[in-house]
Chain A
């Protein structure tokens, strides 16, 4: 078991270095696909933590969107277009919001947790659609001009810098998650999913743990949203719509919760399938996604990640 855990971290480090080195040589569309997948993966990483804890949010689009807006509105309202500040702002805003909402949500389980979180995200969606100062349903373009003081906007390496920031953020998130899951508090996630009563009877607060995990996952969603906004260059309220949240759950189930690597892999596969399905069967890409999902649920109940487990065992 120890060796397996350590391997996770070294694979992560390897992936970090590999991606950073390969970045400049990748076709730009591939680089962008990876960037977007990693943003997604960061969000799904948070979903994974929630799922391990036994709750599923159908409203994580709330934080995905909120993080993006927190980062994106800095420029039009305060003239700040420094990526580091934008990301910090996304983390702070989603952290605070989720800390408050978790006071309510931590009492809920199962479908009620899912639906209450969905309600919150749809309320944000409604508010944003009504706010014409923020471009209403059209949203607005995000401008990220500098990183740590260096101007990147318009530079030939602009995309690479954004890519690198995303890769490093994803790495940081994954390592943090791995360390957390290995910690005593992190280990409670699975225990809570299995038996809340026993957790309480062993002296830990289920509600507090869910609270902390919820905030952690929300911050990751906010970070993912901000990075997505920066790399895509545009944000809109659709990010808070329930279908976006549904997609996160979708990818999380597709990935499996077996490893911190799974969400990134799952997101990458999901984005690739979607992208090629769009291209080769523009009229039936939803069908392709649906069939993939069914196949995974039926034959790989542990998600795509369980494939790796099987490979390792054989």
Chain B
């Protein structure tokens, strides 16, 4: 029983992380139909910025609790700097190209940013461990968990709920849905599609950076974390159904639980559990868990 509970908690911890890294990706895809590989770099940028900003914050002897605010600031900073730069500077010239070509455009951005990060931060790992333990820990059965994990779950839920609320209840959300549904029609009705893209990409970038910033205290920030993360985020988004918010949430939970169960019961499957889940889900539901109905062609 206690093991089952552990599977559940470990799984949900992992799910919350997966959701945070995947939600920006699915948002961008949903609106712009771009599967953004550079999301991995934004994650890495968020992690590096957070680690170095919060690191110097703590080194200067500021309040340790303030480091959480610094993490968020880092995410916002990366979002508003890198997001517009990529969208205005590059992507807007590419709209209308094939989806696969757009994937490769973002892959090129990813490659460029990888080296950019290396030039800026070097190859030495950055360690920012203080915020992880600072909130204390709690016991479940014979296991101890840091409160930070709970906080991550809370953030994941908050992000999910906020986005759902914005989409469903606000005017901006309705505009977004109009654009998602039919870009040309939305443009014809006077919606500034270009602005919508701009905002969406910036928010998506911010979410990617947020994932990195919040992960920074749990890991050693090192070259290559973006590449590792982007494949996971891809898998989650595809399993959930591209562009679907609830899909991403459900997929994150599914993948998180499966991985946790694999580690607990069948450690040898851990290496490809996520790909097994992806293959099985796609075989059963070819367009992922939540997929938009396609309009009839003739």
A residues engaging B (CB < 8 A)? 51, 56, 104, 107-108, 110-112, 114-116, 118-120, 122-123, 125-127, 129-130, 197, 242-243, 246, 249-250, 253, 283-287, 289-291, 293-294, 297-298, 301
Cross-chain contact of B107 among A125, A250, A287, A291 (Cβ < 8 A): A250
CB distance B272 to A112 under 8 Å?
no
Q: Which residues of B contact A51 (CB under 8 A)?
A: 100
Query: A119 touching B279 by the CB < 8 A rule?
Result: yes
Query: What are 24 inter-chain pairs, A to B, with CB distance below 8 A?
Result: A107-B286, A114-B103, A115-B238, A116-B283, A118-B234, A122-B272, A253-B100, A253-B104, A283-B115, A283-B119, A284-B115, A284-B119, A285-B115, A287-B114, A287-B115, A290-B107, A290-B108, A290-B111, A290-B115, A293-B111, A294-B105, A294-B108, A301-B97, A301-B101
Give the complex CA separation of A56 and B107 in angstroms: 15
Q: Which residue of A lies closest to B269 (CB)?
A: A126
For chain B, the count of residues having a C-beta within 8 Å of the partner chain is 42
Taking CB atoms, residues of chain B closer than 8 Å to A246 are 107
**4 cross-chain pairs, A with B, having the tightest CB-CB distances, nearest first:** A126-B272, A290-B111, A293-B108, A290-B112
* Contact across chains for B231 and A123 when beta carbons are under 8 A apart: no
A197 touches B115 (CB 8 A): no
How far apart are the CA atoms of A76 and B163 in the complex, in Å? 56
Q: Is the interface of B mostly helix, strand, loop or mixed?
A: helix
Docked pose: A195 CA to B272 CA in angstroms: 36
Bound Cα distance from A56 to B103, whole angstroms: 11
CB neighbours (8 Å) of A104 from chain B are 283
Q: Which residue of the partner chain, among A115, A127, A284, A298, contacts B282 with CB atoms under 8 Å?
A: A115
Q: Are A119 and B271 in contact (CB under 8 A)?
A: no
CB contacts (< 8 Å) of B119 on chain A: these are 283-284
Q: Is B297 among interface residues, defined by CB-CB distance under 8 A?
A: yes
In the complex, chain B residues 80-125 whose Cβ is within 8 Å of any chain A Cβ:
90, 93-94, 97, 99-101, 103-105, 107-112, 114-116, 118-119
With contacts defined as CB atoms under 8 Å apart, how many contacts are there between chain A and chain B in the complex? 113
Write the residues of chain B forming the contact surface with A, with a CB cutoff of 8 angstroms.
35, 90, 93-94, 97, 99-101, 103-105, 107-112, 114-116, 118-119, 227, 231, 234-235, 238, 242, 268, 271-272, 275-276, 278-279, 282-283, 286-288, 297-298
- Give the chain A neighbours of B103 by CB distance below 8 A: 111, 114
Closest to A126 in B: B272
How distant is the Cα of A250 from the Cα of B275 in the complex, in angstroms?
22
Given contacts A56-B100, A111-B35, contact A294 B90 (CB under 8 A): yes
A114-B100, A287-B116, A298-B93 known; A108-B107 Cβ under 8 A: no
Known A249-B100, A286-B112, A293-B108; judge A130-B268 contact (CB<8 A): yes
A contact residues around B93 at 8 Å (CB): 298
In the complex the two chains form, what is the Cα distance from A175 to B159 in whole Å?
55
Q: A250-B107, A293-B111, A297-B105 are in contact. Are A115 and B278 (CB under 8 A)?
A: yes
Taking CB as reference atom, which chain B residue is nearest A110? Answer: B99
Interface contacts beyond A122-B272, A249-B104, A297-B94: sample of 9 additional A-B pairs, CB < 8 Å, sorted by A = A110-B99, A112-B287, A115-B235, A119-B282, A122-B275, A130-B271, A286-B112, A286-B115, A287-B115
Closest to A293 in B: B108
A250 touches B282 (CB 8 A): no
Alpha-carbon distance between A111 and B291 when the two chains are bound, in angstroms:
13
Inter-subunit contact A119/B275 (CB<8 Å): yes
CB distance from A284 to the nearest CB of B (A): 5
Residues from chain B with a CB closer than 8 A to the CB of A126 are 271-272, 275
C-alpha spacing A281/B242, complex, angstroms: 38
Write out the residue numbers on chain A whose beta carbons fall within 8 Å of the beta carbon of B99: 110-111
Checking B104, B112, B114, B116 against A250 with a beta-carbon cut-off of 8 angstroms, the contacting residue is B104
CA distance A122 to B276 in the complex (A): 9
Smallest CB–CB gap between A57 and chain B, Å?
Answer: 10
CA distance A125 to B275 in the complex (A): 11
Residues of B within 8 A of A285 (CB): 115
- Asked if B118 and A283 make an inter-chain contact with CB atoms under 8 angstroms apart, the answer reads yes
Interfacial chain B residues near A293, Cβ < 8 Å = 104-105, 107-108, 111
Give Cα A66–Cα B153 distance, bound, in whole angstroms: 40
In angstroms, how far is the closest chain A Cβ from the Cβ of B146? 30
* Chain A residues, Cβ within 8 Å of B109: 290, 294
Kindly report which residue of chain A lies nearest to residue B37, judged by CB atoms.
Answer: A246
Determine the chain B residues whose CB is within 8 A of the CB of A129 once the complex forms. Answer: 271
**Contact partners of A301 in chain B: CB under 8 A:** 97, 101
- The residue in chain B whose Cβ has the minimal distance to the Cβ of A108 is B286
Q: Which residues of A contact B111 (CB under 8 A)?
A: 286-287, 289-290, 293
- Which B residues lie within 8 Å of A298 (CB)? 93-94
- Taking CB as reference atom, which chain A residue is nearest B114? A286
A116 and B115 form a contact (CB under 8 A): no
